[in-house]
Amino acid sequence: MSITDILVIAKYRFSLIEVDAWDLWEGGGYDPNPFISPEGTGGGPPPETIYFKRVRCTIPDQAAKRISDHIDFNLVGSESVEFSATILGAGGGYFQTYQDKIWTSLDPSEVSIHFPPPDGLSSVVMTFHTHPVSLEPSPTLDALNRYPSPKDWEEAARIVNAYSANHPSLLSLKLAIRGPDKKIRIFNFSDRARYESKSVADKIAGVDLPPEVSSTASCEP
Ligand SMILES: [Zn+2]
């Protein structure tokens, strides 16, 4: 057997995000990733819905915006559930969605982020996921959720730490977050320490938030 996917499960429950990682094996089925989640949690990943959407852009940040626009205009439940995609270099100066897919969970409070097999991780440039508005109305939490969560940084670090020795390009990994305000912002993994050192008050005030990505001009229609 060989690994065909690494499935990272981020369970978003109110202000708490729990993360676990699984490997999808050829022939179907999941096992806890022995490196990323050595303890495993049992029970397997949650049911998922997959939407096929080919996104191709020459600027990866704009690919994240294109995915977000597609979610807004086409996908049911986009207000209240999390969506994810992984953006890869596709050759010829293009970047595209991994497997031309956007994932969501059937649960409004969790989403998976899929990656290519470990030997293909060098092509990964960005992960995209959404932070929906709070289940319980909370302007404070919505403001904090414009930023990657502590668990988002932690999970990105696990991938980078596990694979960057063989794939140094992962050190330049970017996290595209669509906040509760529906704005796309791009965070460099390398800036983790700078963002994680910010206070709650700073985040509520929006200190150091990256500019919104508002163009899809480099994307194929
Ligand atoms: Zn997140």
**Is there a domain that residue 220 lies in?**
no
Ligand 1 center to residue 155 CA distance, Å?
10
**Is there a domain that residue 213 lies in?**
no
Q: What is the pLDDT of residue 173?
A: 96
Write out the DSSP string of the chain: --EEEEEEEEEEETTEEEEEEEEEETTS-EEE-TTT-TT--SS-PPPEEEEE---EESSHHHHHHHHHHHHHHH-TTTTTS-EEEEEEEEETTEEEEGGGEEEEESSTTEEEEEE--GGGGGGEEEEEEE-PPPSS--HHHHHHTTSPPHHHHHHHHHHHHHHTTT-GGGGG-EEEEE-TT--EEEEEGGGHHHHHT--HHHHHHTTTPPPP----TTB--
Give residue-wise pLDDT tens across range 23-66.
Answer: 555 555 555 555 544 444 444 555 567 788 899 999 999 999 99
Q: Does the pLDDT at position 137 exceed 90?
A: no
**Calculated CA dihedral for residues 178, 182, 185, 191, nearest 10 degrees:** -50
**Is there a domain that residue 94 lies in?**
yes
Ligand 1 center to residue 129 CA distance, Å?
6
Ligand 1 center to residue 149 CA distance, Å?
5
Ligand 1 center to residue 42 CA distance, Å?
22
The Cα–Cα gap between 171 and 19 comes to 21
Ligand 1 center to residue 175 CA distance, Å?
9
Q: What percent of the chain has pLDDT over 70?
A: 73
Ligand 1 center to residue 131 CA distance, Å?
6
Ligand 1 center to residue 92 CA distance, Å?
30
Q: Does the pLDDT at position 211 exceed 70?
A: yes
Measured CA to CA in angstroms, residue 77 lies from 16, 124, 221 at distances of 21, 27, 24
Q: What is the pLDDT of residue 208?
A: 97
Q: What is the pLDDT of residue 221?
A: 87
Joined together, the tokens standing for residue 214 give 């508002």
**Is there a domain that residue 199 lies in?**
yes
Ligand 1 center to residue 49 CA distance, Å?
18
**Is there a domain that residue 52 lies in?**
yes
Ligand 1 center to residue 192 CA distance, Å?
14
Ligand 1 center to residue 148 CA distance, Å?
5
Q: What is the pLDDT of residue 38?
A: 43
CATH code at 194?
Answer: 3.40.140
Give residue-wise pLDDT tens across range 154-203.
Answer: 888 888 988 899 999 999 999 999 999 999 999 999 999 999 999 999 99
The Cα–Cα gap between 167 and 122 comes to 5
**Is there a domain that residue 4 lies in?**
no
Range of the domain at 193: 47-205
Number of domains in the chain: 1
**Is there a domain that residue 156 lies in?**
yes
Q: Does the pLDDT at position 68 exceed 80?
A: yes
The chain-wide mean pLDDT, for the chain, equals 81
Ligand 1 center to residue 143 CA distance, Å?
13
**Is there a domain that residue 42 lies in?**
no
